[in-house]
Structure formats: structure tokens, C-alpha cells
Amino acid sequence: MIIGKNIVKEFGDPPHRILHDLSFVIQDGEFVSISGRSGSGKSTLLYIISSLDFPSSGQVLFDDEDTSLMSVEHIHEFRTNHVGFIFQFHYLLPELTGLENVLLPPRNIDRVDEFRDRALELLKTMDVSKVADKLPSQMSGGEQQRVAIARALIMKPKYLFADEPTGNLDSANGEVVMNILKSINKERGTTLCLVTHEEEYAAMAQREIYLIDGRMSERG
Amino acid sequence: MLFLAMKQLFSKKTQTFLILMGVSFGTMLFVSISGVQLGLREYMIKALLNNTAHIIISGAENEITEKEVRSQIYPEGRFINWITPPGGKRDESKLESYLGWVEILRANPDVYDFSPRFSTNVIIKSKKIKTNVNLVGSLPKKQIRISEISDYIIEGDFESLSSGGNKIVLGVGVAEDLGVSLGQFVDVLNAFGKITPFKIVGLSKFGDTRTDSALAFAHLSDVQKVNRTPGRLSEIAVSLTDIDKSEELAELWSSFSKDKVQDWRSANAMFMEMIKMQDIVRYFIMFSVLIVAAFGIYNVLSIMINQKKKEIAILRSIGFPPKKILILILYQGFFLGICGGVVGLAMGSLVTYGVGSIDIGVELGGSNHIFVSYDYSIYLSAFIAALFASLVASLIPAYMASRMTPIDIIRGQA
Ligand SMILES: Nc1ncnc2c1ncn2[C@@H]1O[C@H](COP(=O)(O)OP(=O)(O)O)[C@@H](O)[C@H]1O
Ligand SMILES: [Mg+2]
């Protein structure tokens, strides 16, 4: 369970408030979308919810653990073991093959060999087995995003955070990626938090957090 | 992290190659310059040690002291006001107890060998031509063992002296001045004008004209006889197994003897000063070269980090802690240092070899090549320096990389 308590985020000096006192609860296994217009603060909120960033005031609690109070080691270990990220730009390491990219999180804890079979299986599930030995530069955008999803799932994370994962894909590929994410949430029970500005995808969620200039209006 | 570090380095082949070249070139420069410099130095030390030795034990000056004279003439405690205090030398300096020294030297494991010597100034004459020469008498076999004298004999050989019987090795300059050659006889005149004929069995050439036209060698007993001082020694030349112990041993021995014990360094203080200067120059070159190499590494890594910000953000969001990002960059700097260093050492030794095989057309100590050194200490210090420079150069970029937060990077991109 993720609890957001009075989250405020300000940038700059003099401080400019981007997020205004947001509070919410995301249950385990839930699929929540964060939508709103460009610049409304979606990404900012997602980074804070996902422990990549911290609120100016307020708290984010993962099962009662405050992210702002975690040590540097702990927060990185937490990310490796429990959190999967998917970004709009696929952010694969260009010098690594598809398989090596998927195996990055296990590499962080020196358990590459244990996870090799699972990595191959995930690539198969994502229908991108054929790019296992290819470099990102030899893959299409859709293939890259699916490899990135496989990487996000390799450690069987409890939480999956996606920031406009379809934003850089054509609609056919976008659809495929959305279906994959949805089935992950359904079949594996992974908590899914999806940022999108596309109405259609936002509506696929069980619950929708709609942001207008950093203020929340919940629908769904 | 090593895996990732290597992947990143090899994805930028040209850059990596260029900086490797830089580091190698610097290392090479240092190795070859040091090789030539130290080679020359070794040669000079060798040449120097032919005239001296690691340690020379010689008789102390035999001075007359005021106190000695007073105690001989006046009773104790009397105050004397000298108009001119007594002074001057009582006798020429001579070694006090040769046999005592033999015992000491034989018992010391650091002593390789030693040779008693007696040298005196004589006039050598052939027909009507005369020249002044310092005639050095030694035990030839021992002298050969403690010095490189054989290397400097260009005709005949030094060992022929060992049978005694009035044989002589002349400096080439002496032979030229007198117009004599190997196998001929010359007359040696002592201070009393007495003539002894000597047969020329060898010619020596040290390369220094002044030495070569004023030096001659003969058997110790022959020289003693010429001077009418049988048994008299002027010095003992000592050779050690470890040249670096000369100072220490000289100090020790002089502390329990009246004789003068001098090691080759203090006997050649000027030369040692020059060596010090050379070292300063050499380390200055190394330092400058390494600074350049370090800047190269720093630049490459900084550029690389800028290009790889996105990837660093990914690694952080995946859970790679800042410490690992730091290590990732340091590994790359280290790799550049180690590889560049190793290649530089190899290239440096090749250049050294190349320089060493140039024929300079001048004969020096039995060879007409530039002297070079392959001393391991050159290679060790060059390698350590390359490694150190690369580590220092990668520290700043590595630290900067580890300080970047994933959010800042992603925001910067978006
Ligand atoms: N590091 C920052 N410094 C200053 N302003 C920022 C920073 N990050 C985001 N913002 C501002 O916050 C607002 C919301 O940004 P973002 O969360 O990216 O919106 P969205 O993802 O909904 O498009 C934007 O106006 C953006 O300019
Ligand atoms: Mg955004």
C-alpha cells in the first residue's frame, strides 16, 4: 500500500508550487492512472510516489515506511527489489544487448546467472525474443519499450511505475504495450501506476487521478 | 561493475583509443628518457669507479701538531706563546696497517674484493722524449676483479702485468707522446733519477685525454721497487657486492682507524650533485607528461559522463547506488591508466632499445653505442605514475557522476 500525505512540491527560488497538498492511497494490486494536461505535474507526482524524488513537504509511505527517511543504500535496494520503472523514452543502455539490458537489475545484486532464464522467458512473453542479442540501435521503438518493460519486471517488483510509456510509440505499438501492462497488473497482481495524457488509456485504470495545475480531482 | 565499465569504454572506441595513446605516449616518453639518462649515468659511474673504487682506504695526512711539539719540549702546564706555531707534514701519507685492513676486509661479507695500490709520479722516457706519468701499481688480478679495467684496454691485456718483472700498461696518450707501441720498451725514471726499463704489454684508453696521457699501470711490487719503498702502499681499493653500502661502510671503518676511508660518492661530490639535477629534470618531465595525460583522461571521462547521463539515471532508478556509479567511472579511468601504462612501458622499452642500438661513431668504454638502462625501477615508477594520474583524473568525473540524481537528469532531458 502506498500512502501519499499532503504532498507539496515546489521548485525554484522564489519557490513555485507545482503540486498542491495531494493526499491519496494506492492499494496493493491496484491499477491507478495519473492523467492531466501537459505541465499539470503528472511526472513530478509519479517520481515522488515512486521514491525517485521527494516531496517538499508531506510524506510518501510504502507500507508505513517513509521514503524521505530511508538511507541511500536502503532506497536503492528498495528500488532494485520492489520497484519497476518504465519511461517514455525507453532508456536502454545502448552498449548492452536486449538480454543484458533486462539483466541489469540482477547485475546490481550480482545475481545475473540466476535470472537469465527468467529474462529470456520475459522477452518471450513480450514477444521480443528475437532482439535478445541485438543492441538497442538495431531494435524498433516498440521492441525497445517491450525490452524496457521486461527489465522493469525482472525482479518481480511489487510496484510498477510507467511515465507515458506509449508516448513515443505509434498507436498499434502503444496498444500492445498497454495490453501488456494491463495483463501484468491482472495476472501478477503488480500495483500499476500509469502516467498518461491519453484519455483512452487513463480510462483503462480502476481509478484515475486527474491533475489540473497540480491539484487533484479524482474520477472513476 | 567491471562488465558495464568495459562495455561503456568499448562502445567509444575512438575516444578510448585516443586517450590510451595519450597515456601510453607519456609513459613511453618517461621510460625512454629515463632509460637514456640512467644508461649514461651508469656508464659515467662505471668510468668513475675505474679511477676510484667503491671505497678507497688511504693513509691519513701525517701532520705535526702544536700539542705534540709542546709536550716534547716543555713540562706540563707551561704557557707558551708561539710566534709561529709548529706545523707542516712529518712524512708523506701512508697506509698504517695493511694487514689489519686485510683482516677486516676479508671478514666482511659485503666486501667483494680489494686491491692494494701504490702509485707514484715517475718520468717515462723513450729515446729523448720524456713525459710525466702517474704510475699505478696494483695486484693485476685483483684490480681486474674490482674494476672494469679490462674493458678499457684496447691493445694487449691487463692480466699480463700479473707475472711482474717490469711490465707496464700505458695510457694511449702516453704511448702516442712517446711514439712507442705494444711490445717495445720504455725507461721509467724515479725521483732519484734511477732508470728501470719496462716492457709495454698493454695500452689503455678511458676516453679522457688528460687521463690517457698521464696514466700507466704496473705490478705493485715493481712500482714499489722503482720508488725504493718496498712494502709501501698508498691505498686499498675496495669493491663491495652492494654499491649502496659504500657510504655506510666507509663511515664505519673510518671510525676505528687513523687511515682515511672515503666512499666514491663523497669523493665525487660534484658528480653526485649533477646526478641529483638530472633526477629533478627527469621527474619534472614525468610530472608534466602525466599532467597532460591526466587531463586527457579527465576530459574523456567528463565527456563520456555527459553523453551517458541518461544511462546513469537509468542505473540509479534501477537501484544502482551512487557508490556503484562512482566505481563504474573509476574502473574506466583505472583501465585507461593500466592499459595505457602497460602499452607505454612496452613502447618505452622498444624506444630505449632503438636508441641503445644507434651507432654514434665514438668509442666509449668498449662500445660505440649510447648507453641505455632497462632498470626495473624506471618501469615501476612510470607505471605507478600512470596509474596514479589516471586515478586522480577519474576521481572528479566519477564524483560528479555519482552526485547526479536521476530526476535531475531526466528533467534535463525532457
Ligand atoms: N526541476 C524543475 N524545476 C522547475 N520546474 C520544474 C521542474 N520539474 C518540473 N517543473 C515544472 O513543473 C511543472 C510540471 O511538470 P511535469 O510534472 O513534467 O508535468 P507533466 O508530466 O504533467 O507534463 C511544469 O511546469 C514544469 O516546468
Ligand atoms: Mg511528464
Domain housing B325: 2-48+272-413
Q: Which residues of B touch A98 (CB under 8 A)?
A: none
Q: Which residues of B touch A71 (CB under 8 A)?
A: none
ipTM of the complex: 0.91
Q: Which of B264, B336, B328 is nearest to B16 (CA)?
A: B336
B179 grid coordinates: 711514439
Residue B374 counted as domain residue = yes
Q: How far is the CA of A107 from the centre of ligand 2 (A)?
A: 29
- Residue B327 sits in the same domain as residue B189: no
Q: How far is the CA of A41 from the centre of ligand 2 (A)?
A: 7
Domain stops at, among B264, B291, B321: B264
Residue B80 counted as domain residue = no
Backbone torsion region of residue A36, taken as left when φ is above 0, otherwise alpha when ψ lies between -120 and 50, otherwise beta: left
List residues bridging with B203 in a β-sheet. B155, B170
- Residue B173 sits in the same domain as residue B234: yes
- Residue B368 sits in the same domain as residue B322: yes
Q: Which of B385, B345, B353 is nearest to B31 (CA)?
A: B345
| Distance between CA atoms of residues B68 and B59, nearest Å | 20
Residue B157 counted as domain residue = yes
Residue B63 counted as domain residue = no
pLDDT tens for residues B129-167? Answer: 888 888 888 888 888 888 878 888 888 888 888 887 888
- Residue B193 sits in the same domain as residue B330: no
Residue B88 counted as domain residue = no
pLDDT tens for residues A153-195? Answer: 999 999 999 999 988 888 888 898 899 999 999 999 999 999 9
**Average pLDDT of span A67-71:** 91
pLDDT of residue B287: 83
Give the closest-approach CA distance of B8 to chain A in angstroms.
6
| Distance between CA atoms of residues B322 and B294, nearest Å | 23
| Distance between CA atoms of residues A213 and A216, nearest Å | 8
User: Rounded to the nearest 5°, which phi and psi values hold at A94?
Assistant: -65, -20
* Count of the separate structural domains present in chain B: 2
Place of cell 510504502: A62
- Residue B116 sits in the same domain as residue B199: yes
| Number of C-beta neighbours around residue A25 at 10 A | 13
Q: Any idea of the CA torsion for A175, A181, A186, A189, to the nearest 10 degrees?
A: 180
Contact criterion met (CB < 8 Å) for B319 and A95 = no
Residues 54-113 of B with CB under 8 A from A: none
- Residue B286 sits in the same domain as residue B393: yes
pLDDT tens for residues B213-262? Answer: 888 999 988 888 888 888 888 888 888 877 777 788 788 877 877 778 88
| Distance between CA atoms of residues B46 and B101, nearest Å | 25
pLDDT band at A53 (very low <50, low <70, confident <90, very high): very high
Q: Which of B91-95, B118-122, B368-372 has the highest average model confidence (pLDDT)?
A: B118-122
**Secondary structure of residue A111 in the 3-state scheme:** coil
User: 3-state DSSP: chain A helix, strand, coil percent, rounded to 5?
Assistant: 40, 25, 35
pLDDT of residue A117: 95
Residue B64 counted as domain residue = no
Q: Which of B89, B80, B33, B83 is nearest to B60 (CA)?
A: B89
Q: Which of A161, A38, A143 is nearest to A90 (CA)?
A: A143
Domain stops at, among B243, B264, B285: B264
The domains found in chain A, sorted by start residue, are 31-39+70-217 (3.40.50.300)
- Tell me, yes or no, if the pTM score tops 0.95: no
Domain stops at, among B211, B239, B264: B264
Mean pLDDT of chain A: 92
- Residue B173 sits in the same domain as residue B214: yes
Let me know: does B370 contact B36? Beta carbons within 8 Å.
Answer: yes
| Distance between CA atoms of residues A123 and B240, nearest Å | 74
